Structure 1
Amino acid sequence: MPHLLSTCFDKMNAMKYLLFLLSFTLFTPLFSYADTQPKQSIVFGVHSKTAPLEWRNNGVDQGFNIELMNRIGQMCNARILTRRKTFQQLLSDVHSPESDIDVIAIVSPVTIDRDLSQSDPIYATHAKAYTLQGKAFINGWHDLVGKRVAIKKGAFVDVYLSGQEQEFERIDVDLYETGFQLLIKGQVDVVLAENFVARRLLPFYPSIRSSSDPLIYGAFNFVTNGKNAPLMAKINEALRQLKLSGEYDKLVNKWFGTGREKVDLTTTQQKMLWLAILVSIISAFGMILTAYISASLRKRTLSLKSELVQRRKAEQQILSLSQQFQSVLNGIPHGVTIFNRRCECLWSNDKNNLLLKSPEFHFTQGQVFQLDDSLIEVLNEQKSLTADMSYHAQYWQLQIHPIAEDQAVILLEETTEQQALRQANNEASRLASLGELSAGVAHEINNPTGLIIHSIAFLNHALCDLKPAAHHYTQQNPFWSVAGLDPNQAIEELEISCATIDEGANRISRIVSDLKCYARPNIANKHRPMKLNEVVTVSLRLTANQIKLFNLTTHLQLPEPELMGDAQQLQQVLINLIQNACHASKPISDSIPSLITIETYTRDSDHYLTITDTGAGMDDATLKRITEPFFTTRRSSGGTGLGLSVCSRIIKEHNAQMQINSRLGKGTKISIRFPLITAITKQMPEQQSEQERTVSLETER
């Protein structure tokens, strides 16, 4: 019995081997013949960046539609060429008989056919409404009445609504992403978007949500123009064969995770087995005739395999090099674009490419930038062009280099930060020159001021000696007058004038002294004992011309808080804070003037300096960036954005802390706390009252 079973299995194995040889003998010439036939090309246009339909990964086009089209091309003995364009370009090309695009994949409503020749449905999808978070749910078309609805021009939602009465305000957009951006800006209320695209965009727009059930059902189809109707018939036939064979389901399961499973594979295999046996019996008589051909083909096959292995190695090296080159170009932070003479974009890394055709993108000198004219000029002269450009408040460097007679590469690099640094450097140079100039001017002012003080002292002594003589002369001549005044009254007026001149000259001398001290270069790590109230007094003198227009109140603690620090630098901090408070406040001439308050006090062994205003205040976004270099809300009026940044640095050098509290429309309070490590503390009598330790000076100007 075992011997009999062994014999049966040997016969079955021999039969299978015979069938394999016969099948290979019959079909190998057919396959060889098919491989030698020239293949036609089908140009498949794609536009989407939405997985899993069609997108580009490391420079390789992938996706369900692309893989399905490649499989159809194999069945139609045609090579598929993938060409990527914008959605609007594809719509225009597929309607033109002269287009270089043969087939595109597009969504059509299930109830409406397009005018173009289209295939059987490929995959189902739908469109629904998307709104901002917190908006009401859209239960149907009636909830869109009166709303502003964004619709992508040419998409299947547009096709579905064409010719129908619409009770909402329709706003056409070129992309669903443009609709989402308008939704965030509040320029539309609802976006009707296709499911797959919306699923890709939602992670980038967290403030937008899906707000309805499906409103429109559609299906992906391959479409082409009328002249390619025979081609569409072949595509439909191949598509149906793929569905019948189960390959279509495998593709669906691969890219979407769903699909039908074939359950009748056993019966099909049995039928194919009996058919193969029949064919093998018929072909057995031709084995002797094909033996010689098989031997020669085997030799040729080995040669082709060796050549194929070498070619695949070369293709793999080229692909690897291409991917590396593509990764490098995509990783460059600047825009790189290649144009031809007709101003057609041949390649781009999709970074700031739209600026080149924007009407607001112009030369920094103000001349209008025309991409066509600049490209033709560079290509004709074969000379590179480098220029500084501006777009709104941003600056860019534009470089156009010829790389062939009809092609040029455009490099676009943002230089806003470099421009800001250059302006800040120029401003710092001007400020340094102004400091040197102010020191020289202060020295020159000191000389005449000293003469005035000396002369006034002489006049005061002279008036003291002239009083008795004038009194004696008046008794002898009662009608004597000085400048039309009674002699005693005239001498009194002269004394008042001398005192006023002496006070003004002394004030000029103090201001010049403060200005020279403020302009003197700072020497790091040279902190000395200083009084906080004196910093406030000097700063108020230097800003007297500005604060005279505002209501100012000062509360300075006595005895004065003493610190270890640089008085000049702290004066610079307080002057900057006073100027900022003046900019944010209303002058006395306004109906409701603002109040500016400056205080010094001691709490928990720490000394505090605070400045408070009741001006415009700041919002949270401005408050978070207030100490960033070059950030300012007054750039149009000359602000550089360096003031509070420098103040923050000086305060840190003094081991102090600055706290800013502000509310929009309520005002701002800035507190600077000097810890015990930088303070020179003195023992104060416990019985000393708060009234004795604090002096309040209220100035109403």
Structure 2
Amino acid sequence: MHSSNLKKIFPSILIITLLLGFSSAIVFAEDPAQLDLPVRIGGDYNYPPYEYLDQDGLPTGYNVELSQAVARVMGMEINIQLGSWGEMRQALERGDVDLLMGMAHTKERLDEVEFSIPHAKVHQSIWIRDDNKTIRSIKDLAGKEIIVMKGSVMHDYMLDNEITADLFMVQTLADALRLLASGHHDCALVAKLPGEYLLTDSTLSHIHPIARPLVAQDYGFAVKKGNLELLARFNEGLSLLKKSGEYRQIREKWLGVLQPEPISWKNFIRYGALIIGPLMLVLIAFALWSWTLRRQVFLRTAELEREIAERMRSAEELQIRQKQLLHADKMTSLGVLVAGVAHEINNPNGLIQLSLPQLRKAHQSIEPILESYYRQHGDFKLGWFDYSRMRQEIPKMLEEMLESSNRIKRIVEDLKDFARRNDSGLDDMVDLNDIIRSALRLVDNALRKATRHFQADYASDLPCFRGNGHRIEQVVVNLILNACQALTSVDQAIELRTYEQQDDNMVVLEVRDQGCGLDEDTLRRITDPFFTTKRETGGTGLGLSVSEGIVKDHLGRLEFSSQPGQGMVVRLLLPIYEERR
């Protein structure tokens, strides 16, 4: 019975086996890679620097050289064909080419092609004429006449996003830019880097891309949907080129310096463990040592409380005096250092300030000649840009350089004043507003990094105070830097104002921040020597202690008010200057 059934089903098994073998033979015959046939690669003939025809009509560019390198390392023979982009996309769809060497990755194109791992990033831009003031972003394209290359990614973009605009099709990016430069339509959608390469054509003038790219897209090889074997070979070739370093060389040659490779999670965790591990051990050891020390102090406090308190006061006074002497010595050394640095900076800066007016005068003298040449012969290159653009930029550049040079001079003078030893004592008549402006110039960089919201309100007709301006400037710098360090976000604000407090006959500086704030216990100890909430970031706990000493020498005082999470307000009060009899 079993033999009879086997005889019945054997013809069916034989037919199925033959059909599977015939199907495999067809698949094998249709696979050019397995038959060692040349891989037909298509590309755009006018898309520099990625792919284009050189002066001899031969394919060249980043994509061409990268495709040749992949073919070499994978042992493949290739045949590169360049034509208009629309024709090449249709050729891939018909099967006339096996692979496109450069195509922007979009979700919509996944229905028709398979993408390789990206080998570049393409930034698409909106190009306009120089006199166009109305188009600055994608929302401004509605209702406009837009030039776009047929079949390009930006053609797809406009259709997929259903932007209501009139599209005018061209075959190449160069055609799009020429049409725009000739005064037709409102703008053109052209990739930024190819567009910049095409600008070397003398007929393309008075056009430029808007500063912000429209969209950034991954860019790589593309095969027809389902041709995964060929795609895998090109992906493998790219991986081999990246490992050998040849990919980096090709990309740097055509596209410029590469961005740094991102750190892998594995390396990140390893490096983190190497850094955090020892730090945790140190912190644990420090915590154990601190706990042991506190316990010993607690056990001995009952019998030695008075002696310890007296010794602590003596030690604190000694440490304050030592710190004041050390600070005075540092300020003296800083004065010598600043004087040397100021000399080295002022010499070249003086040359700059001497030369810039001469350059401006020379430009004014030669400007009529350039204008005459421009009117007679049209636009021409001046440096990297057209003269029509540089004629407006050069005076601005010269003016900005002179202003920057003057700023350097002012900063150097402020540094010299800040570090200069002042032996005039505490009897000078000092304008508090002037001291604050000078201090703000010194901490300008720290303020810009800490907050985007800084406001200074200076009282008019503010009376002067009696004292030493340089020492009070040191206090103001310290208060502003403390406010910067208290902020946890650049969106938090710092406000500064001066006013007269007539009841106490004082002038007042108030510094208000929206930082983390302090609790009541911490606020009481804020001016204690060596007490700091920033020990882990290098704080010594001496800044406010020294500042309070300086203010007391001026017969003034510092007042602090704060709550956790609600910022802090610091007031510096100094006696108004009065003539002594």
TM (norm. structure 2) is 0.42
Kindly indicate whether structure 1 or structure 2 has the higher relative contact order, using CA contacts under 8 Å at least 6 residues apart. Answer: 2
Larger Rg: 1
TM (norm. structure 1) is 0.35
